[in-house]
Amino acid sequence: MADKHLYLSLIPQALIASMLTPEEFGSYYAVGTKVHIQGEAMFFEVDPSFRSDDFPFHLIDERCVAKPDGTPKNSVYLSIYRVLSRIPISALGNLYLVTSDGKTLALERADYQPDPAAHLHLYQEFCPITPMVASSLEPHEFSNFITNPANPVHVPRLVFSQLQLGELADDPEQGSARDLPYNNLEHLRDVLGELKNNQGKPSKLVLKQVHEGVIYRMVQGGFYIGDQHDFAFYRFPDRTALDNQYRGWWRSAQVTGLA
């Protein structure tokens, strides 16, 4: 009998029970379903013992069962609304990054230490909102800021990644942007310049939504999930590991995102 897994999908947001392994589920979810037929997927594996009255967990035993021919059940949706905010960070396991052609990379939770040399930051948010935001705050500070209910605009919990800025992180006005693929670089320079000169809020919107998908090839550091009570960091492999240990995934990921 195949194990039953719980997955917290971020693109789109959903809690799903499945008899597929994370790698099988990633491939199925990215390319093998009419519901999610284009673009990348991203999901956490949830502790299978996690239970909450917020979700109909009885459906796992009723519906997440093998088909008469023994084929495992691909997915049973338990919720599609406000899922991220109702599952504690402590119940989350590995984070899985899936390319648009179904290749899956597992990231483990790692210890987080802020980079004292970093000045300006660029973040891509994934769930429950999807803008690109520039900030003078390091990731943990940014998580605390964006989930603070005292702020007029906030969310209860956020998943995001940090993106490379190159020379713009220190010199947004004159720094070279030749290796940066972002659209509207002059606008990005202006936003970063305002942050550098402490003009107003510590974070500013760059794009309302990143329509090009997950910019895997520009990730710096890794992926983060946080709220007012907890914070977790998932380290992204360095370039050497990507070129060697994860070559197949990396080759696929590089054709995704901003071209």
Summarize pLDDT for 11-35 with one digit per residue, the tens.
Answer: 889 999 999 999 999 999 888 655 5
Q: Is 259 inside any structural domain?
A: no
Q: Is 90 inside any structural domain?
A: yes
Specify whether 139 is located in the same domain as 210.
yes
Q: Is 243 inside any structural domain?
A: no
Buried b or exposed e, range 207-219, using 16+ CB within 10 angstroms: beebeebbbbbbb
Specify whether 62 is located in the same domain as 166.
no
Model pLDDT, residue 35: 52
Specify whether 94 is located in the same domain as 196.
no
Query: How many domains is the chain partitioned into structurally?
Result: 2
Specify whether 89 is located in the same domain as 139.
no
Domain boundary (45, 76, 107) is at 107
Residues of the chain with pLDDT under 50: 1, 36-37, 258-259
Specify whether 125 is located in the same domain as 87.
no
Model pLDDT, residue 258: 42
Specify whether 129 is located in the same domain as 232.
yes
**Segments forming the whole domain that contains residue 223:** 121-236
Q: Is 251 inside any structural domain?
A: no
Specify whether 52 is located in the same domain as 128.
no
Q: Is 244 inside any structural domain?
A: no
Q: Is 13 inside any structural domain?
A: yes
Specify whether 142 is located in the same domain as 202.
yes
Model pLDDT, residue 179: 85
pTM for the full predicted model: 0.92
Specify whether 196 is located in the same domain as 125.
yes
Q: Is 95 inside any structural domain?
A: yes
